[in-house]
Chain A
């Protein structure tokens, strides 16, 4: 993969996941107990052998990303030669709007000055562990101009997305941005591979002709005449574009085969910022079933069918069911939650009870005490 450079795009926002992304880009969303979404794209890049990674920072809300990635050391990207590059947005002028395409356009220098032959662009909004060397081989074997990585959706979703209709050998018959996504459709994971030359050309043309959206203006509108292919990832993938998708995908981590495939792949771990939390303490009365539990927790109560992030305290008699509980939350004695997502540093005080529903989990924002 020495001949592939990559861009991680953090600019785009999603309308259906507002509560969780008020203070952070989607890429910073905590996931599966100890990760942030950006870890999946970045780890796949690094374990596939990509060593030149540009991170397109969002217009605002970049703090959590900078704090998470820092020098890139945890991903072996703090290097003298190549490594991790932060590509900051350029302030819009003359009534222009911030957009992912604009962000890429104003950072094209970074792409052009790199000596790799191919560019892999990934939006850090999906969960996967993909070997990109296979995507490159697919791209080359098919003589493709553009390859988009897709996967078959395992649930419907209210948010819009790029859907493709794959033909023989992965050649795309039709591709469209649909307002809603349905189970079984081949949905883009936001990963595009093409030659550096073509990448620069389509970005430049699209932006200079008034474009704002990379997918629509640089890819779909210019796809005619191009050999447009899709690499269908047949392993687990989840696109996190709505709060229900966030909830369902987290709970999907309780499927042991998904957990194994994503996280225990030989030589291809999902890497994240190291915090050196101590192992989790299970105390007298702990009753934990079918749950994913991160380090640094102290559990006296009951946890079922849930994902528990780092440094969570579950006091005696407290109960967590079918919930996603993020870092540094505290459930005091006899507190009970079911079908709930708690953002970081939430405290549920003694005896309080909260219950959502499977299709409508209750969302509790950062730092809230109930």
Chain B
């Protein structure tokens, strides 16, 4: 079977910077925006870009993510020849290893790639919120005769040292790539989105796997080696909304971004973000409730007040309860009179009557899945 472009989503990271939110699930399965999970964004982008075969590389706490993805039906990725394939580390004749780096994860699945027989491989990460047409990037890759194309976005210079930073010529040809440079030489940051011509990628992965001194990472090892060899690497500029949600603060901020008068992405528009949802009714707003500047999803019941917050599926907010500047994940219960401010409540959190969960803009309070917060004293 022939595939034009195969997508591989790196979804194996623990996301330890998300603390209790990823204590039980992998980062790509973390809820976002009242309705979605982070991985809905790359998956929906694939479906809209005409990429029908997607491998999802998982290793940390994979069950909830596996359960969520199913056969890819929710994203219309369950066609013949297509599909969503969960790719955990597996045992081979020589033994079994965990994925030791992003490149190693892809290397360990070369058999899957060869079976899919793609001309091109698109590598994605499962921790960004954005809407992007990968088919345009693929067109650019082909038009330039590139061997590798890296998606880039301009970032503020003062933040550049957090990213992989590259220098490129006017036509996009990459001349230098430095992972998290102390002294950045440009503001062009890698988005962690790569398109490789398949055979070219395979040769580098095989070579890299043999090297004892390699950390088997795309940014640290593979890309610099390709550049050193004079390979044809091009950048592809993206100028839409793109947000890393790898930390509590950035996850909270990205949720808040969607409360703007003009939300950064039209998730219900033509580039609709699909998600696998439980069948829930429209939400109910009670007689004494007050709701403004908020996003509310299906199955929620609001009897108290909500301001500047994102309220997910099946959330209950009791009488007299106050929720401000917060993200409330699915099926959390905020009982009567409770106060939630500058917080992220994990799924199924219960905030008991009159209890408080209060953070500050600089330090967002977080509760983990199923956590119970009792009233003080």
Measuring CB to CB, which residues of chain A are less than 8 angstroms from any residue of chain B?
32-35, 43, 73, 253-254, 256, 259, 262-264, 269-272, 274, 276-296, 303, 307-309, 311
Find the A residue at minimum CB distance from B286. A290
Bound-complex Cα distance A250 to B264 (A): 34
Contact of B291 among A256, A276, A286 (CB under 8 A): A286
Closest Cβ of chain B: how far from A208's Cβ, in Å?
42
How many residues of B sit at the interface, in one of the four size bands?
35 or more
Q: Mark B104-142, 1 if CB is under 8 A from A, else 0.
A: 000000000000000000000000000000000000000
A9→B73 CA distance, assembly (Å): 29
The answer to whether the Cβ of B279 comes within 8 Å of any Cβ in the partner chain is yes
Residues B16-32 near A (CB distance < 8 A): none
CB < 8 Å: which of B274, B282, B310 contacts A295?
B282
Q: Complex Cα distance A295/B30, Å?
A: 21
Instruction: Indicate if the CB atoms of B286 and A289 lie closer than 8 Å.
Output: yes
Q: Nearest Cβ in chain A — how far from B269, in angstroms?
A: 8
Across the interface, name the chain A residue whose C-beta is closest to B265.
A278
B residues 271-321 in Cβ contact with A at 8 Å:
272-275, 277-299, 301, 306, 310-311
User: Known interface pairs A276-B275, A282-B291. Does A256 touch B284 (Cβ–Cβ under 8 Å)?
Assistant: yes
Does the CB pair B281–A259 fall under 8 Å?
Answer: yes
Which of chain A's residues have a CB closer than 8 A to the CB of B287?
A: 289-290
Cβ–Cβ contact B279 & A269, under 8 A: yes
CB distance B282 to A279 under 8 Å?
no
**Interchain nearest-CB distance for B34 vs A (Å):** 4
Complex contact A292–B294 (CB within 8 A):
no
B147 to A: closest C-beta gap in Å = 37
Given contacts A272-B279, A276-B268, A295-B298, contact A283 B261 (CB under 8 A): yes
B289 touches A276 (CB 8 A): no
Question: Cβ of A294: which chain B residues have Cβ within 8 Å of it?
Answer: 282, 298
CB-based contact B295/A280 at 8 Å: yes
- List A contacts of B277 (CB < 8 A): 274, 276
B280 touches A269 (CB 8 A): yes
Closest 8 CB pairs of A and B: A278-B268, A33-B282, A269-B279, A263-B281, A279-B34, A294-B282, A278-B267, A279-B297
Whether B292 contacts A282 by the Cβ 8 Å rule is yes
Q: How far is the CA of A264 from the CA of B273 in the complex (A)?
A: 25
A278 to B283 alpha-carbon distance, docked (Å): 13
A290 touching B278 in the complex, CB below 8 Å, given contacts A282-B296, A284-B293 = no
11 A-B residue pairs with CB within 8 Å:
A32-B282, A34-B282, A43-B279, A263-B280, A279-B296, A280-B283, A287-B292, A290-B286, A292-B281, A293-B284, A295-B35
- The answer to whether residues A282 and B268 also contact, given A270-B281, A290-B285 and a CB cut-off of 8 A, is no
- Which residues of B come within 8 Å of A, CB atoms? 33-35, 73-74, 261, 263, 266-268, 272-275, 277-299, 301, 306, 310-311
For the residues of A in contact with B, the DSSP-based class is loop
Q: Which chain B positions have C-beta within 8 A of A277?
A: 268
Q: Which residues of B contact A43 (CB under 8 A)?
A: 279
How many inter-chain contacts with C-beta < 8 Å in the A-B complex? Answer: 118
CA distance A229 to B274 in the complex (A): 46
Whole-angstrom distance between the alpha carbons of A242 and B233 in the complex?
68
Q: How far apart are the CA atoms of A311 and B279 in the complex, in Å?
A: 18
Complex formed: what's the CA distance from A263 to B278 in Å? 11
User: Once the chains are docked, how many angstroms separate the CA of A21 from the CA of B288?
Assistant: 35
Let me know if B273 and A292 touch, CB within 8 A: no
Chain B residues lying within 8 Å of A291, measured Cβ to Cβ, are 284-285
Instruction: Check if A283 sits within 8 Å of B288, measured CB to CB.
Output: no
Residues of A within 8 A of B281 (CB): 32-35, 253, 259, 262-264, 270, 292
User: In the complex, which residues of chain B have a beta carbon less than 8 angstroms from the beta carbon of A296?
Assistant: 268
Known: A256-B301, A279-B34. A293 touches B293 (CB 8 A): no
Pick from B73, B267, B283, B285 the residue with the most CB of A within 10 Å.
B285
* The one of A254, A281, A292 that contacts B263, using a Cβ cutoff of 8 Å: A281
For A286, the closest partner residue in chain B by CB is B292
CA distance A262 to B299 in the complex (A): 12
* Complex Cα gap A294–B274 (Å): 17
Question: Which B residues are CB-close (under 8 A) to A309?
Answer: 282
Complex Cα distance, B10 from A312, in Å, reads 38
In this complex, the member of B272, B279, B292 whose beta carbon has the largest number of chain A beta carbons within 10 angstroms is B279
Question: Within the assembled complex, what's the spacing in Å between the Cα atoms of A259 and B290?
Answer: 20
B279 to chain A, nearest CB (A): 4
In the complex, what residues of A have CB within 8 A of residue B286's CB? 256, 289-290
Residue A270 contacts which of B263, B279, B294 (CB distance < 8 angstroms)? B279
Contacts of A269 in B (CB 8 A): 278-280
Taking CB atoms, residues of chain B closer than 8 Å to A272 are: 279
